[in-house]
Structure 1
Amino acid sequence: MTGIGGFLGAQDPGGYSAVTTHGLQTTAEGLLHLTPPGAAISGTPLSFNDTANNSRWATWVRGSLYLSEFLSRVSYEPKDTNSVRSIALSFDNHDLVELLLPSDALLAEQCSHVRDYADLRGDRGAEIVSQLGFPTEYFSMILGMHVAQHKSTVELITATQVVAAHMAMIAKHALAVRRPDQIDGRILPMIPTPGHGSFPSAHATEAYAVLTVLEALATSWGGFEDLDNRIVMMRGLAERIAVNRTVAGVHYPIDSWAGATLGTAIGKIILNLAGHTGVPVEELRYEPQNQDFSDFDFSQNGGTMGLHSCGQFQTSAAPHFSWLWDNALTETQKV
């Protein structure tokens, strides 16, 4: 499962063992007599409602703040008009993404693509299994990142994919699209079929959201002489993560189209929240067609394949995402 559990428990030690708990108790009893009686010395209060306190909090606490900061500005509306059903997601009352429900006939047609992709399972099995959780390591490989040197960047990646997963689940619930193996018994997935709807793909949503954020971050770092090559590889990676889910037998290609659409929009919203100026958010509408998915088609030919831009907007920065972005900017790669 990706996304939703990305921050849960991070930097929270939980309970101690029974032996350690008892040892701490007896040690405290043995030390307290060494100090004088009386009231505690008053300390200096922390700043009120200030991101200066963020570095004091456990990672999972900051994760809750990022998620709340994003979702508090989201609204959505399931639409059912004139035989067209869709989910429309908005941000700050601006239209963000509308995804139209695929027909049963289209899903049946898409199953042939899913069956064809099964031939790649032998080659991609390790990728598919290791990408059941979010594949931060794969993006790190391209940008030469190390968790000790890029703590804030990794946290930004995690925040992005957690937000993306939540947004995908809103759409999945409303549209309630059956998985490929529930339509065609010949698909026989190589991993367990997830317990939620197929459309859009959360993996594609997360991958394209992270791609959008990391492309802007790596560009802002200004340290890569071969930046164009790295961006090309990141785009290829986002596509590969999405397609791997079709190879595994749990997603239609149109799921990746919808996920890439939603993820790109989410990534641009996060850049706006981070105070990264000059990044307009496109208002997108995706009407699924019987197409395979590729990043080239998504980025170059989307207008002829059901993806439509309906306008643009920008939105205001938010304190916690801005704090995280500013910290990630300091982790620049100088090569």
Structure 2
Amino acid sequence: MPLQHGQHGQHGQAANAAVQTSDEALLAAALMRSRDAISGTEIVKPDPFQAGELDLAARLPRLARDYRNAVMLSELLEDLVFVSEDDAPPGKTARAMALSRRTTGDPVPLARIVRPGLADFSQAAPLVAAYAELRADRLTEILAQQRHLIPFLSSILPLDPVRNPALAEMLEVGLDLVTPVVMRVKLALGCPRPNQFSDRIQPLIPEPAHPALPSGHATQIFMLATMLSLLANPDAQVKPDDQLYRLACRIAVNRTVAGVHFPADSASGAVLGIQLGRYAMARGLRGTVGSAEFDGSLFGNQAEPRDFHAEILNQMMNGDDPSTRFNDDRTAARPAPLWQALCHRARQEWQNRWS
């Protein structure tokens, strides 16, 4: 039955595509006939013209949404520098990936992720298996969060895309930024998935076709939570008991419940996401940003596997966890004029949300 349903779905898509093609052909033929009727063979006389007066930021909203997002994404990516740190002697995977940002001088550190050892992952596999007991309870969340994250934020804050279009677009660009960044880190570190350590894990959802650490979902949701916090208050700190960060922790843990991520994947994703959120908002609101480091080889409890949840995040943010360090080395970020224009519109929308 599932195969038949899939075939029926393909047939439906093909039928819709055929109807759309037919409609486009009909419209093209009608436009051609209409033009021939009202223009005929008259010689075209161009209208008067003048040079454009809008600057780049003012012209940006005239692009289609996807193209605007691509422009701002390229602007945010242009300041990021990746340096892979190999093992000694060099191995097939990197020991660490350092992410820096360009300034008016030499690049300065933004985030550094050190991979755990294989023994650390192996030790954590039973913990991932134990989380399977929560799958029935978390099933709907896990499935929905495969494709949707922003609606979960909208259940906490009034993020109505009709009333806050610039804010919605800002968050979408943030989501888009995570993918190229996190994939560079994943590829360099090459960390395994839980079911590679045991055939009893049996993930609830298809295993993503890329390395595990850092978790992309954790990076995304922590970046979005940080962006929203800084939009409301440029001096906001990460508060694990805040609703946004409680949600971020739950979404990250859900990936472990599903059997596709270790707790260390979520912890490293949280650090990277927080730093990317700070970086993006510093460039959009003319702010400052410091550096952070997550060392997966130190993310453990000696003989016991290490978990990740809001209390662990609290320890990481307060400097009480040996794996994580947020440094007091904040410096100004280079402004990104096009991204900055969007962030300012988003801030105005948020400040006027009561109107």
Q: What does residue 225 of structure 1 align with?
A: none
Q: CA deviation at 1:20?
A: 2.2
Give the structure with higher Rg (CA). 2
Q: What does residue 72 of structure 1 align with?
A: 78
CA distance in 1, matches of 2:43, 2:308: 71
Q: What does residue 41 of structure 1 align with?
A: 47
The 1:183/1:19 distance shift into structure 2, 3 A limit, reads: farther
CA distance in 2, matches of 1:58, 1:264: 29
> Does 2:331 align with 1:317?
no
Q: What does residue 10 of structure 2 align with?
A: none
**Structure 2, unaligned runs of 5 or more:** 1-19, 301-305
Identity of aligned residues (%): 28
> Does 2:279 align with 1:273?
no
Tell me if structure 2 keeps the 8 A contact 1:211–1:234: yes
Tell me if structure 2 keeps the 8 A contact 1:143–1:230: no
Q: CA deviation at 1:310?
A: 4.0
What SS does structure 2 have at the residue aligned with 1:296?
Answer: helix
Q: CA deviation at 1:22?
A: 2.1
CA distance in 2, matches of 1:112, 1:140: 34
Tell me if structure 1 keeps the 8 A contact 2:240–2:246: no
| Structure 2 residue identity aligned to 1:169 | M
Alignment of 1:100-111 (within 5 A): 100-111=114-125
CA distance in 2, matches of 1:243, 1:41: 62
CA distance in 2, matches of 1:188, 1:46: 59
Tell me if structure 2 keeps the 8 A contact 1:171–1:200: yes
The 1:44/1:295 distance shift into structure 2, 3 A limit, reads: farther
Q: CA deviation at 1:206?
A: 0.7
Q: Normalising by structure 1, what TM-score? A: 0.86
CA distance in 2, matches of 1:191, 1:154: 28
The 1:310/1:301 distance shift into structure 2, 3 A limit, reads: closer
Q: CA deviation at 1:65?
A: 1.1
Tell me if structure 1 keeps the 8 A contact 2:316–2:323: no
CA distance in 2, matches of 1:169, 1:327: 30
> Does 2:306 align with 1:286?
no
Q: CA deviation at 1:264?
A: 0.5
Q: CA deviation at 1:24?
A: 2.3
Alignment of 1:1-80 (within 5 A): 17-33=24-40, 37-47=43-53, 50-80=56-86
Q: Normalising by structure 2, what TM-score? A: 0.82
CA distance in 1, matches of 2:224, 2:295: 20
Select between 15-24 and 158-167 the one with higher mean Cα deviation. 15-24
Indicate which of 300, 306, 309 corresponds to 2:315. Answer: 300
Give the alignment's Cα RMSD to 1 decimal.
Answer: 2.4
Q: CA deviation at 1:284?
A: 2.5
What SS does structure 2 have at the residue aligned with 1:308?
Answer: strand
Per-residue Cα deviation, 1:224-247 (whole angstroms, up to 9, x for no partner)? xxxx99981111111111111111
What SS does structure 2 have at the residue aligned with 1:284?
Answer: strand
Q: What does residue 349 of structure 2 align with?
A: 331
Select between 284-293 and 91-100 the one with higher mean Cα deviation. 284-293
CA distance in 2, matches of 1:146, 1:24: 38
What SS does structure 1 have at the residue aligned with 2:146?
Answer: coil
Select between 116-125 and 296-305 the one with higher mean Cα deviation. 296-305
The 1:310/1:208 distance shift into structure 2, 3 A limit, reads: same
The 1:29/1:229 distance shift into structure 2, 3 A limit, reads: farther
